[in-house]
Structure 1
Amino acid sequence: MTQQASPRRPFHGWFVVAGAFAATFMGFGAAYSFSAFVEAMQTDFAASRGSVSLVFSLAGFLYFGLGVITGPLADRFGSRRLVLAGMVLTGAGLAMAGLARSLTEVYLAYGLGVGLGVGCSYVPAVGAVQRWFSRRRGFASGIAVSGIGVGTLVMPPLAAVLIAALGWRDAYLAMGALVVVIGGAMALLIENDPRDRGLGPDGDPPQAAAMGDPVPGIPVAVAIRSRRFIILYAAGLICAFGVFVPFVHLVPYAIDHGVQPSTAVLLLGAIGVGSTAGRFFLGGLADRIGRRRALIAMFIGMAAAQMVWAVAGGIVSLAVFALLYGVFYGGWVAVLPAVVMDSFGSRNVSGLIGILYTSVALGTLIGPTAAGYVFDISHSYLVPILASVAVNLVAAAIVCLPSPAPADMPAAQAVRR
């Protein structure tokens, strides 16, 4: 029987999970609060919905695209420094956005500050968690990224309260301070490798961990040329055109359909509730049914939820959409890093996750902005919503394609889960 870590001494991997949870809570919670600011920015800058939406798209492009740089840096130098820097940059970006005097300045402050900040913190934090777990990797990853869901539940309503009390500019200043203080402090819990504490994944002795998972991983150059990686990349690119449209446009959509702004912003919180549930429960379920199968199910679930959005008009139906969508979106975010670890091993997991997320970055740059401009032309969100349904179904079909393990991956690691 494998010797476990002493029950009197909690496994440090869970502290790493807590640090990653806080980083995703503060970073993405602040970023996904953007929808609460859209109406105020449109009014203040006399701007179209498409041009305001570009603020979020620029930030999203950076925080997913930057992982290609920060992931390998985390593999080499450790995740803690990058996550801490990311929290400071995110807070500074929010504060500078609050001081902006033109939409162009918001592009620079929010787009660069929040984009670079979340980009520095997300992939290093999630990548660090993967190394600390093996048997419960899906569950641990789900808890770590559930910070995104809880942040989406808490931060947009908080933003609405701050906007009502202080105005949108001072609201951004206050949120920036929260990100730096709370996110920065919790980032100190993150560590890269259990071996630095004389442990293996799950708290097992290092030698026991090596017997159960003897393959440290394969080179990045081999992994990214493999059919398995190309399939994951293509699916991420296609789905990202639609995944983040609700985070920008759900609140304006609800207001356009007669929902009061103070109520409409709670729909983002409903996505957060569903997302948190999805990350906790679907991440653990994926460990049992197979993480690749679970990934396919997440794409199909997001498409089904967006079909509900296509016919929703009142607060009840929109809340149903938000909850359902959050569940499957949260499951997607939780399962994807674990699929990468399953497929390519631990040696370069942060770097590979970062490269994979460049696909999501491209889709995020285009999707929400295009949806805004389509609305400006047609005064309807129907076409962007149906397009979002279609891209998720295409992504599911892509992941269903045969994907043999890379040629350099030994048989012990080449099991398709």
Structure 2
Amino acid sequence: MAQERKKKAGVLPPDGGWGWMIVAGCFVVTVCTRAVTRCISIFFVEFQVHFARDYSGTAWIHSLVDCMTMLCAPLGSLIGNHLSCRVAVILGGFLASIGLVLSSFATSLEYLYLTLGVLTGLGFALCYTPAIAMVGVYFCERKSLAYGIAMSGSGIGTFILAPVVQMLIEHYSWRGALLILGGLVSNLCVCGALLRPITLKEEEACPLPVDSECGYSTKPLVAVGPANEKHLVASRQQRNSKQRCLQSMQEYHFLLMPDFLVLAGSFLFLASGCSLPFVYLVPYALDVGVSHHHAAFLMSILGVIDIVGNITFGWLTDRRFLKKYRSICYMVSVGMEGLCCFFIPLLHTFELLVPFSVLYGYFDGAYVALIPVVTSDVVGTTYLSSALGVVYFLHAIPYLVSPPIGGWLVDTTGTYTATFFLSGFALISSALLLCTVTVIRHCQRIQRNRQSNKTTLEQCEAQQADFYTTKNKDLLIVNTATS
């Protein structure tokens, strides 16, 4: 009994210990979800040739995977909050693996929309949000570094998987490659077993608020006789249902925070532009005459530099001199990524595309590591899991719509220029929205400080005037008495 009480008691974030196993589990989750999703773009040309479809039709596969991963993110948070993160990740790993295996038997693009897009995307959604939220529970002081390492899985996975997937396609065709990826993704079930839950003191010290208007009390009910047994059961059921309602309302209380609403708007612009380069970089490279191996290697460069961005930005923003400016670091990384997109149409050789992959990959890794950190700074650890579910949900519609729109622009204009310009504009708009609000609030803060200082000065002057008036009166009284 004593041991059970000890386990249930709230603790401070360990900032180490088993937390590093949580980081390792989240790392593998990001490899098996985000890296695999990025590598789907390598199948892009294979699907086009095999099913004889245009860019916009084929792009729906990638957009559906991304959309389902983000659209069902609140479902992953819900299962993680009410059951456990272990259950959510194990179930998601099973669904994602089944979806990839079934995709290897595809006979049409519509079949791939269902298996690779919907089923695999749903499995990724159940894994992604709970795993990321668990890192925020186990870390506080070294949160940015922990997230940097955990989120670097997408970069390392892309670096390794991009050439491996290309090799698998050449040796076993795209069907065999999808089958092998299904086996790889099944390791998500193992990662789920690592996610051991803990209760923080912050959560323990934040009990469910009791509202007298809701009609229930925390006092125990006492049965006075057998006749009241049914009434007792009904009262308990009513109390439990109202308590669950209050818990659900409390979980999403952060939606009323103005800071979170601004951050959500920024994420909408971000999601509209960030996926396009990953979808169209390989097709663009092939279109300008780069070989298949070199085009796949560009994705590998993106992946490995993504790792550097994850870890270095995570480490830097944990330093004292930058800890207060995490949101500014996030704005800079997103804005620089948008600027990179404007220069892609000028790059027509592999040697020129390599610097783009380096810069874009670095800033992509930087902002990806900062998304959960900035969200945690706004809503706190208690609401982090639910907030991340909403944050990734906001990515869903842009992820669904932007790749087909990019493909339509390619089909209409015959070039990739408009597609990459759309990506750059969306990313810069995301950074400018946060920047504008930050500048406005900074100006308001300065104005409030000036008014406060002015008021304080006026009060001091008034006090001094009262002091001198009182002193003069006292002197007058003394002089009168002396006379």
Is TM more than 0.5 here?
yes
The match for 2:122 is 116
The match for 1:413 is none
1:39 aligns with 2:22: no
1:374–1:384 CA contact under 8 A, matched in 2: yes
2:73–2:129 CA contact under 8 A, matched in 1: yes
Q: After TM superposition, give the deviation of residue 281 of structure 1 in Å.
A: 0.7
1:80–1:188 CA contact under 8 A, matched in 2: yes
Q: Give me the identity figure in percent.
A: 28
Whole-angstrom distance in 2 between the partners of 1:330 and 1:214: 35
The match for 2:190 is 185
2:139–2:146 CA contact under 8 A, matched in 1: yes
1:375 aligns with 2:410: yes
Whole-angstrom distance in 2 between the partners of 1:291 and 1:327: 16
Q: After TM superposition, give the deviation of residue 6 of structure 1 in Å.
A: 11
Q: Pick from 345, 352, 363 the counterpart of residue 328 of structure 1.
A: 363
- Bigger mean CA deviation after superposition, 69-78 or 216-225: 216-225
1:58 aligns with 2:54: no
1:46-85 matches, cutoff 5 A: 46-85=52-91
1:135 aligns with 2:141: yes
TM-score normalised by the chain length of structure 1: 0.87
Q: Return the letter of the residue paired with 2:69.
A: Y
1:40-98: CA deviation from partner (whole Å, max 9, x where unpaired): 11011000011101101011111011112211321232211111222222221111111
2:13–2:138 CA contact under 8 A, matched in 1: no
Q: Pick from 362, 370, 383 the counterpart of residue 397 of structure 2.
A: 362
2:103–2:115 CA contact under 8 A, matched in 1: yes
1:234 aligns with 2:265: yes
The match for 1:281 is 312
The match for 2:283 is 252
1:22–1:187 CA contact under 8 A, matched in 2: no
Whole-angstrom distance in 1 between the partners of 2:356 and 2:155: 15
Q: CA, structure 1 residues 16+44, in 2 after alignment: closer, same or farther (shift >3 Å)? A: same
RMSD: 2.4
Number of residue pairs matched?
A: 385
Q: CA, structure 1 residues 162+219, in 2 after alignment: closer, same or farther (shift >3 Å)? A: same
Bigger radius of gyration among the two:
2
Whole-angstrom distance in 1 between the partners of 2:305 and 2:197: 29
Q: After TM superposition, give the deviation of residue 113 of structure 1 in Å.
A: 2.0
Q: CA, structure 1 residues 340+262, in 2 after alignment: closer, same or farther (shift >3 Å)? A: same
Q: CA, structure 1 residues 172+292, in 2 after alignment: closer, same or farther (shift >3 Å)? A: same
TM-score normalised by the chain length of structure 2: 0.76
The match for 1:174 is 180
Whole-angstrom distance in 2 between the partners of 1:363 and 1:242: 8
Q: CA, structure 1 residues 215+380, in 2 after alignment: closer, same or farther (shift >3 Å)? A: farther
Gaps of 5+ in 1: 201-205, 405-417
Q: After TM superposition, give the deviation of residue 269 of structure 1 in Å.
A: 1.0
Q: CA, structure 1 residues 258+344, in 2 after alignment: closer, same or farther (shift >3 Å)? A: same
The match for 1:318 is 353
Q: Return the letter of the residue paired with 2:125.
A: G
1:18 aligns with 2:18: no
Q: CA, structure 1 residues 275+96, in 2 after alignment: closer, same or farther (shift >3 Å)? A: same
Whole-angstrom distance in 2 between the partners of 1:260 and 1:5: 49
1:168-204: CA deviation from partner (whole Å, max 9, x where unpaired): 0111001111211x332233112232x4xxxx6xxxx
Whole-angstrom distance in 2 between the partners of 1:280 and 1:335: 11
Whole-angstrom distance in 1 between the partners of 2:80 and 2:13: 26
Q: Pick from 290, 296, 304 the counterpart of residue 339 of structure 2.
A: 304
Q: Return the letter of the residue paired with 1:133.
A: F
Q: CA, structure 1 residues 154+6, in 2 after alignment: closer, same or farther (shift >3 Å)? A: closer
Whole-angstrom distance in 2 between the partners of 1:6 and 1:179: 29
2:38–2:278 CA contact under 8 A, matched in 1: yes
The match for 1:104 is 110
Whole-angstrom distance in 2 between the partners of 1:384 and 1:358: 23
Q: CA, structure 1 residues 275+348, in 2 after alignment: closer, same or farther (shift >3 Å)? A: same
The match for 2:274 is 243
2:409–2:416 CA contact under 8 A, matched in 1: yes
Whole-angstrom distance in 2 between the partners of 1:274 and 1:235: 24
The match for 2:155 is 149
Whole-angstrom distance in 1 between the partners of 2:96 and 2:353: 30
Whole-angstrom distance in 1 between the partners of 2:410 and 2:103: 25
Whole-angstrom distance in 2 between the partners of 1:33 and 1:94: 13
